[in-house]
Amino acid sequence: MTSVTNSTGLSQKPKKAVFYRHSWAVRITHWLNVLCLSFLLMSGLQIFNAHPHLYWGQYGADALPDPAFLSIEAYADGDSMKGVTSVGQLQFTTTGVLGASKVDGELTPRAFPSWLTIPSYQDLATGRRWHFFFAWFFVINGFVYMLYGLVSRHFRRDLLPTRAELTSKHLAGEIADHARLRFPKGEKARNYNSLQKLAYIGVGFILLPLMVLTGLTMSPGFNAIFPWLLDVFGGRQSARTIHFITASLVVVFVIVHVVMVLISGVWNNMRSMITGYYVLKPEAEKEIAK
């Protein structure tokens, strides 16, 4: 977009354009997802703390699992505690954060620290109640979003990348622009870029459904209705591990998402997700001589 000159010969900057970017349904379901995922994460860590180990395979009351490929434990270290996180054969000292963290000023055996769990004290039953409540709230909110996306053609119009956007040359260019913190301006900012589309599709249609299904697979009551889910995921312990991995990947997505919001224009992005309106910043301007 170039600058223009008025009758006095002075250069004028182009006006910023404001357009309606996010519908009320997208905004409401987005913020409900923020609420649900926050409580699901913190209550999920409370549940994990009850048995901070991850296994793979079919195990029951009479079967001893193979050594866990992820464990977060605490060991006595003289008069204090030592937190250790194990990934396979690798061990890392994580005292103060994982395995052993301070509670009332003293190091206490605890996989994840109290400030990351709901409730903050160790209580598996309460953590499960919080988790199940927000899990169903999250599922219902997801169905509402899916229904809206199909009826309004939001998925096809805003999230489905075109063939041109999926070419290696185009993707490489967008990755390079993001690495240099060069974000779209002008008309290009009206739509999600291909990296955003792929990320939203991956999270919304792969990670989140997988997280929900593996969560249901861990429920004995649900197993009675759909026992085949245990076979699909290779057993309850495998489902628990996949559940933990998908939840971790969602957390990584959220962190990257928040960072992108902050560095690409926090007020403009927040305003669009609250009011729906987004301001298009003009492209680089080149003054035109009269």
CATH number of the domain bearing residue 230: 1.20.950.20
Q: Specify whether 266 is located in the same domain as 153.
A: yes
Has residue 290 been placed in a domain?
Answer: no
CA distance 100 to 13: 58
Q: Specify whether 53 is located in the same domain as 136.
A: yes
Q: Specify whether 85 is located in the same domain as 208.
A: no
Is pLDDT above 50 for 20?
A: yes
Q: Specify whether 225 is located in the same domain as 131.
A: yes
Has residue 181 been placed in a domain?
Answer: yes
- Cα 10 to its chain centre, rounded Å, is 48
| pTM of the entire predicted model | 0.87
Has residue 90 been placed in a domain?
Answer: yes
Beta carbons within 8 Å of 160's beta carbon, 6+ residues apart: 197, 201
Q: Specify whether 13 is located in the same domain as 93.
A: no
Q: Specify whether 89 is located in the same domain as 170.
A: no
pLDDT tens-place string over residues 71-112: 999 998 888 899 999 998 899 999 999 999 998 888 999 999
Q: Specify whether 91 is located in the same domain as 217.
A: no
Domain count along the chain: 2
Q: Specify whether 37 is located in the same domain as 103.
A: no
Looking at residue 70, its pLDDT comes to: 93
Has residue 78 been placed in a domain?
Answer: yes
Q: Specify whether 92 is located in the same domain as 186.
A: no
Has residue 289 been placed in a domain?
Answer: no
249 is in which domain, residue-wise?
4-61+113-280
Mean pLDDT (the chain, rounded) = 88
Q: Specify whether 162 is located in the same domain as 42.
A: yes
CA distance 177 to 268: 20
Angle at CA 237, nearest 5°, toward 234 and 239?
60
Has residue 286 been placed in a domain?
Answer: no
pLDDT tens-place string over residues 150-159: 999 999 899 9
Q: Specify whether 45 is located in the same domain as 66.
A: no
